[in-house]
Structure 1
Amino acid sequence: MAEARNPLLVSFAVWKAIFLREALDRLFDMRAAWFWLLVEPVLHIGFLVFIFTVIRMRTVGNADVAVWIIVGMLAFFLFRRTAVQVTYAVDSNRPLFTYRQVKPFDPVLARAVLEAFLMSIISIIIIGTAILLGHEAWPYDALLVLQANFGLWLFGIGYGLVASVLMELVPEMEHVLKILMLPLYLISGVILPLAAIPQPYLDLLLLNPIAHGLELARAGFFPYYHTVPGLSMEYLYAWGISGIFLGLILYRRFALQLVMR
């Protein structure tokens, strides 16, 4: 009789296999796929730096405008890419569920970790390039930067979990969720500094946890950065953790529909 394997070892083996599968698919699914992972944020950053240069704006909140854009853009891309990859994790890996060892949450975890790994490499390349070009891009408080980005990553996972179940129950939600990313891009402080937003609109924008994450990440880079009042790391983490718990509850409730579609 074959000896039963440790469930934890089985889970790690499944996660490793799915992680490698997703990495190969993400990096080599099409010609130069790895190149476009880097080029997309670079194009966004380059365009905004050009716009700010044209209007002769050199600093934002006492921070180098180029680095301000880089930090905010990379933080938002971490959230967005994690959310999108988690949203489609189950749908893209549905054939794997014929193996009883693979559960719906396994591809979610693998994709989320892979996205954090890829965005870390992309961030190092872009920030390293900024330093070589003469910008002061070393983080003043690296722990604060890591905390803010980790909170955005958690929120991206929670968003993706909930979004994937909503899309399964109401297929038309896919169009709504795709459209939602654009206003999130605009109201999270990626392009315009929150300090330039007057009241009472600023308080409304601060209901968005992504705005907290971006501003806190920037505060970790610049010792004299002028942040808006009311920023809260706890608020960001509350949204992230709550989203993950809600997503896990929905996954458990609708596990059969997710697997059998």
Structure 2
Amino acid sequence: MTSYYAPNGGHPPQTELMTGRAVFTEAYAVIPKGVMRDIVTSNLPHWEKTRAWIIARPLSGFAESFSQYIMEVQPGGGSDRPEPDSGAEGVLFVVEGTLTVTLDGTAHVLEEGGYAFLPPQSRWTAHNEGSAPVRFHWVRKAYEHVDGIDVPEAFFTNEKNITPNPMPGTEGRWATSRFVDPDDVRYDMHVNIVTFEPGGLIPFEETHIMEHGLYVLEGKAVYRLNKDWVEVEAGDFMWLRAFCPQACYAGGPGRFRYLLYKDVNRHPALTPIWKAGK
């Protein structure tokens, strides 16, 4: 059985204390689930009966490669023109309800755990044809074309069809559900699910070029972000810039799982000297 946390909005009562866990630093940000209220949602052009929590967007000097939304679509809602940028690729991951995505005239029904990769120039639509709201993550990135390398095709699947890949030497305590082959350089981003069993950990401080968005689907943990240890739980989102040191310890009692974005398989863009100035 899978269990994914999805925000429902609302507002806390006036009697509640303001104390929270939100933080934004030069190296990372934490957006806790308690922040995702009605007042911070966005309406989007050409989407009906829909609102979005936009939890990541490109910011100069921070995480620059992607945006990430949590979409909430009411019954009968959706869009015939969802993606405004023809150069953008996207990943959809359903955390609650059922979403019907139609690509080139073929309908695909995504239930909880449903996953879609949509390459740039895709002709797709998204609608809630059910009787309950659907909530799903939408990760967007400008696809980086490479001469001689084809753009990957669209595909649809579900997490339950993916066998988690244990990290070597961890006895299965740390595993990754990979939706694409990590050696396939057609892809310039990965959106995977990482699972830690209680007591599982990243036993070193990862420090690397990849930007990250981490949405906690289930459980709780203590996460090392730059110089700080931060407690996180289901519904929280972490946003890490490149080279931010990171590690974690899953304290239990259940599994700790998160949806992970990272940019991969491309050279870092170099600013020409003549543009940088002197």
| Pair member with larger Rg | 1
**Higher strand content, 1 or 2:** 2
TM (norm. structure 2) is 0.25
**Higher helix content, 1 or 2:** 1
Tell me which of the two structures has the higher relative contact order, counting C-alpha pairs closer than 8 angstroms and 6 or more residues apart: 1
TM (norm. structure 1) is 0.26
